[in-house]
């Protein structure tokens, strides 16, 4: 027999969005219960211990300037940040050639560099037209909504090197290919972050800083505040709700004229409102009674999870630093597309972070772990030399294979979707409110967006919209 709990608001998902919603609701004096499918909190943030008290992060890890809510929350929880290692020369690989460069601009031919520069400027300028709060009202954007980033790229660049560099940028931000995302989705994201430079940058950009001890601590500390209100190992299967015009049950202040029942394995939560803090693709897999409006369901059919494998090769020392390298590499040859020096603040052990993104990740996710390790190390050897061949340890996480993520970094919209279905991202359905990084308007898809989305959903409920 399932345990049954009565509360005011049921929050589904104990990632950054869900826990931020619960924390904000508590701050507003509302009672909450958080129901989490996994045996841990953190969602798409995840620490993995590597000995000597050090950890690596298998999920989201960076924060940067203008991500004010994330930085504030980190400080509020007594956590600290440290700068991403950014000293030394960078590496760019293309066409079998590995070249080093200083600063942010790889050494490719001047024509391609100029093309990329013009393209980035154009994208930033186009992005300024987006109203991030309601792009679906901007019917003048239909043409951007109806084409892929790939076709825009074909029209706006001529050289292979320029196209490769733009492809790498798309892969780095969405863990998807230019063929997957609509031009409008790319522009929405750029606008939501502020600029492409902020999205792509290390120092001063979205990859500026890291959290001492790992980002999963953010969720763990929020969960600790919430205590027994957080229930792990309870996958939610069904959400039932109804109008409740009659008497409000005793002990439940009137949040709205609804009752909600959240049915999880071995746990049922009765509440007055719910926050679903899952990626839309997964939120669409729950059963709803009454069934979701077609618009909301259609959004969940369309919003696809990006695909990334986040890989770590751990060495006794960050040997590349002695070679004058920053550990940051970008490769158009793949399968590893981007690397970073992900060593702990003390610089020991040496950790190389390598991403498989988009198609490379799709092809690698269903491989055997040892096969995946080999293709990653092959890339690292090409980029950083033979010392990269024998890490003390190799750890990766293929997020598309994770039943409760089914992809990372987050959801993206293919063509034809933003204008028609975008509004359903946040529109509550009866007493059900939607949170998650995908629903954010500022730093959508990032930890900062996840946090603000939870606060926004909590505010909706506390303001009596649900």
Which residue ranges make up the site for its own copies (CB under 8 A)?
142, 145-148, 150-151, 176-180, 237, 281, 284-285, 291, 293-295, 297-298, 301-302, 304-305, 307, 359, 362, 365-366, 398, 400-401, 403, 406-407, 414-417, 420-421
Residue 65: how many CB atoms within 10 A of its CB?
Answer: 15
Please report how close the Cβ of residue 312 comes to its own copies at its closest, in angstroms. Answer: 20
Closest CB to its own copies among residues 281, 329: 281
Please report how close the Cβ of residue 53 comes to its own copies at its closest, in angstroms. Answer: 33
Q: CA 220 to CA 363: how far, in whole Å?
A: 33
Q: CA 333 to CA 96: how far, in whole Å?
A: 7
CA 17 distance to own-chain centroid: 11
Q: CA 178 to CA 175: how far, in whole Å?
A: 10
Please report how close the Cβ of residue 1 comes to its own copies at its closest, in angstroms. Answer: 14
Q: Which residues pair with 331 in a beta bridge?
A: 93
Closest CB to its own copies among residues 54, 180: 180
Closest CB to its own copies among residues 123, 462: 123
Q: CA 303 to CA 431: how far, in whole Å?
A: 22
Q: Cα Rg for the chain, rounded, in angstroms? A: 22
> For residues 321-337, b (16+ Cβ closer than 10 Å) or e, as one string?
beeebbbbbbbbbbbbb
Q: CA 209 to CA 82: how far, in whole Å?
A: 5
CA-wise closest residue to 394 among 56, 5, 24, 13? 56
With 0-12 / 13-18 / 19 or more C-beta atoms within 10 angstroms meaning exposed / middle / buried, residue 151 is: middle
- Cα dihedral 107→112→115→119 (10° resolution): -70
Please report how close the Cβ of residue 169 comes to its own copies at its closest, in angstroms. Answer: 16
Closest CB to its own copies among residues 146, 257: 146
* Alpha-carbon distance values, 64 to 85, 154, 201, 320, 411 (Å): 13, 31, 9, 24, 21
Closest CB to its own copies among residues 229, 240: 240
Please report how close the Cβ of residue 359 comes to its own copies at its closest, in angstroms. Answer: 6
Is 300 in a helix, a strand, or coil? helix
Please report how close the Cβ of residue 328 comes to its own copies at its closest, in angstroms. Answer: 27
Closest CB to its own copies among residues 50, 295: 295
Closest CB to its own copies among residues 345, 416: 416
Closest CB to its own copies among residues 145, 357: 145
Closest CB to its own copies among residues 157, 365: 365
Q: What phi and psi, each to the nearest 5 degrees, are found at residue 251?
A: 85, -5
CA-wise closest residue to 37 among 57, 60, 18? 18
Residue 61: how many CB atoms within 10 A of its CB?
Answer: 23
């Amino acid at each position: 027999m399932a345990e049954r709990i009565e509360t005011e608001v049921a929050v589904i998902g104990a990632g950054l969005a869900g826990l931020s919603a619960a924390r904000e609701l508590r701050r507003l004096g509302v009672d909450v219960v958080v129901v989490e499918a996994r045996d841990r909190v953190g969602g798409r943030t995840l620490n993995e211990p590597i000995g000597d008290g050090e950890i690596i992060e298998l999920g989201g890890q960076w924060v940067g300037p203008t991500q004010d809510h994330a930085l504030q929350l980190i400080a509020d929880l007594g956590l600290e940040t440290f700068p991403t290692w950014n000293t030394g020369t960078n590496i760019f690989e293309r066409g079998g050639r590995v070249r080093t460069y200083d600063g942010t601009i790889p050494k490719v031919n001047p024509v391609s560099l100029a093309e990329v520069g013009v393209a980035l400027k154009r994208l930033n300028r186009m992005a300024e037209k987006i109203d991030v709060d309601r792009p679906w009202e901007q019917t003048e954007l239909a043409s951007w909504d109806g084409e892929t980033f790939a076709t825009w790229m074909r029209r706006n660049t001529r050289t292979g090197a320029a196209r490769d560099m733009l492809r790498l940028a798309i892969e780095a931000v969405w863990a998807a290919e230019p063929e997957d995302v609509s031009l409008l989705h790319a522009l929405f994201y750029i606008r939501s972050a502020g600029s492409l430079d902020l999205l792509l940058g290390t120092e001063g950009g979205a990859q500026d800083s890291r959290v001492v001890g790992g980002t999963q601590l953010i969720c763990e500390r929020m969960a600790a505040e919430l205590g027994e209100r957080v229930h792990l190992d309870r996958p939610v299967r069904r959400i039932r709700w109804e109008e409740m015009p009659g008497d409000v049950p005793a002990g439940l202040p009137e949040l709205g004229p609804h009752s909600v029942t959240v049915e999880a394995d071995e746990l049922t939560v009765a509440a007055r409102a719910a926050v679903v803090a899952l990626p839309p693709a997964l939120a669409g897999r729950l059963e709803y009674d009454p069934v979701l409006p077609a618009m909301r369901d259609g959004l969940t059919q369309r919003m696809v999870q990006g695909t990334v494998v986040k890989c770590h090769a751990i060495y006794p020392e960050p040997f590349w630093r002695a070679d004058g390298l920053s550990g940051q590499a970008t490769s158009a040859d793949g399968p590893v597309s981007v690397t970073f020096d992900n060593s702990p603040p003390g610089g020991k052990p040496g950790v190389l972070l390598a991403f498989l993104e988009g198609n490379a990740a799709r092809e690698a996710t269903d491989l055997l772990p040892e096969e995946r390790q080999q293709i990653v190390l092959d890339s690292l050897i090409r980029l950083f030399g033979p010392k990269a061949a024998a890490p003390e340890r190799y750890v990766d996480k293929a997020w598309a294979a994770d039943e409760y993520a089914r992809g990372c970094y987050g959801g993206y919209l293919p063509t034809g979707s933003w204008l028609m279905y975008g509004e359903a991202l946040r529109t509550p359905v009866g007493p059900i409110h939607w949170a998650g990084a995908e629903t954010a308007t500022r730093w959508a898809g990032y930890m900062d967006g996840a946090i603000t989305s939870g606060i926004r959903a909590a505010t909706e409920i506390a303001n009596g919209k649900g």
